C-alpha cells in the first residue's frame, strides 16, 4: 500500500519538525533567561488572559496539572505569574501575569512571530491549513486513545 510510507513520513516528520522548532525556540528563550518548559505556561496565560484557571492553562500548554504546578511555582517565585483563588470557585486557582510577566511574554511573542515568519516564509496559506488538519488528526486520535484526557 502506497499510503503507509506516506503516513510514516508524516508522523516521523512531525516528530523531527517538533524537535527542530523546539531547538530554534530554545535559543531564543535562552536570551530571555526562561526555560522552554516555563515559557509554555507563560505564553498560555498571556494568550488566554488574566484570571484564567490552571486547568485551562494545562490544556493550552499540553501538559499534566502536576507538571504545570511545578512550573507555576517557578514562575511565581520569579515574579512573573500570580496565583490566586477564584472568587467564584475557591477550589480553583486563577492565574495572572505580573507587569514583569506581561513584558516578558510580549517580548517573547514578538520574537516568536519573527521566527515563525522566517521559518514559514514562502509557504502558502493552503499549505499551512493542510498542516493544521494533520495536527488535528493527531489531537483527535490522542483524545480517543486517552478518553478525552490528554
End-to-end CA distance of the chain, in Å? Answer: 31
Q: What is the pLDDT of residue 51?
A: 93
- Complete edge-to-edge strand list for the sheet that includes strand 81-86: 52-53, 89-97, 81-86
CA–CA distance, 48 with 71 (Å, rounded to integer): 17
Q: Parallel, antiparallel, or unpaired: how do β-strands 52-53 and 81-86 relate?
A: unpaired
For residues 89-112, give the mean pLDDT: 94
pLDDT band at 62 (very low <50, low <70, confident <90, very high): confident
For residues 30-44, give the mean pLDDT: 94
DSSP β-bridge partners for residue 86: 89
* Run of H or E including 92: strand 89-97
Q: What is the pLDDT of residue 90?
A: 78
Q: What is the pLDDT of residue 97?
A: 98
Q: Where are the domains of the chain?
A: 16-122
For residues 93-112, give the mean pLDDT: 96
pLDDT digits (tens, 9 = 90+) for 82-96: 999 888 887 888 999
CB under 8 A, 24+ apart: contacts of 92-100: 92/53, 92/54, 92/55, 93/53, 93/54, 94/51, 94/52, 94/53, 95/45, 95/50, 95/51, 95/52, 95/53, 95/54, 95/57, 96/45, 96/50, 96/51, 96/52, 97/42, 97/45, 97/46, 97/50
Mean pLDDT for all residues in the chain: 91
State what percent of residues in the chain have pLDDT above 70.
Answer: 95
pLDDT digits (tens, 9 = 90+) for 40-55: 999 999 999 999 999 9
Residue 136, Ramachandran bin (φ over 0: left; ψ between -120 and 50: alpha; else beta): alpha
Please say whether the structural domain 16-122 has been given the CATH code 1.10.10.10.
yes
CA–CA distance, 99 with 13 (Å, rounded to integer): 39
> Does residue 1 have a pLDDT over 70?
no
Q: What is the pLDDT of residue 143?
A: 82
For residues 15-30, give the mean pLDDT: 92
Q: What is the pLDDT of residue 89?
A: 81
pLDDT band at 118 (very low <50, low <70, confident <90, very high): very high
Q: What is the pLDDT of residue 91?
A: 81
CA–CA distance, 128 with 63 (Å, rounded to integer): 24
Amino acid at each position: 500500500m502506497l499510503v503507509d510510507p506516506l503516513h510514516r513520513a508524516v508522523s516521523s516528520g512531525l516528530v523531527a519538525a517538533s524537535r527542530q522548532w523546539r531547538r530554534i525556540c530554545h535559543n531564543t528563550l535562552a536570551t530571555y533567561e526562561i526555560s522552554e518548559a516555563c515559557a509554555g505556561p507563560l505564553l498560555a496565560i498571556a494568550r488566554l488572559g488574566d484570571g484564567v484557571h490552571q486547568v485551562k492553562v494545562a490544556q493550552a500548554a499540553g501538559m499534566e496539572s502536576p507538571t504545570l504546578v511545578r512550573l507555576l511555582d517557578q514562575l511565581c517565585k520569579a515574579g512573573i505569574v500570580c496565583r490566586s483563588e477564584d472568587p467564584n470557585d475557591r477550589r480553583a486557582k486563577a492565574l495572572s501575569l505580573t507587569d514583569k510577566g506581561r513584558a516578558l511574554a510580549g517580548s517573547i511573542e514578538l520574537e516568536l512571530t519573527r521566527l515563525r515568519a522566517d521559518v514559514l516564509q514562502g509557504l502558502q496559506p493552503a499549505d499551512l491549513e493542510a498542516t493544521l488538519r494533520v495536527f488535528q488528526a493527531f489531537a483527535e486520535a490522542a483524545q480517543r486513545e486517552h478518553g478525552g484526557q490528554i
